[in-house]
Amino acid sequence: AIILVIEGIYLMIAQKAPGIINNNPSEDFGSPQAIGDMLFTDYLLPFEATSILLLVAMVGAIVLTVKKKKGAQK
């Protein structure tokens, strides 16, 4: 929750201060090649952290939904 508030404040400040956020997209903005290059170069660590977080969430959801049998031993 704290991180979300900090990001919100940053975005409000960035909209008022010119030059913090580049509003002019480059020529290859949105192309699959550009997105792939950014994910695996500039954003590699956040990309990997997100993938691990999603994997843990999936495993947790599976563990929570699996029902134990009546006669099963612990």
Residues in the chain: 74
**Domain segments of the chain: what residues?**
28-65
Q: Examine the pLDDT at 38 and tell me if it is beyond 80.
A: yes
- The pLDDT score that the predictor gives to residue 48 is 92
Report yes or no: 7 and 14 within 8 Å, Cβ to Cβ.
no
User: Please, which pLDDT band fits residue 58 given cuts at 50, 70 and 90?
Assistant: very high
The reported pTM is: 0.49
Distance in angstroms (rounded) separating the CA atoms of residues 33 and 30: 8
- H/E segment holding residue 61: helix 44-65
DSSP state of 68: P
Distance in angstroms (rounded) separating the CA atoms of residues 39 and 5: 25
- The pLDDT score that the predictor gives to residue 25 is 61
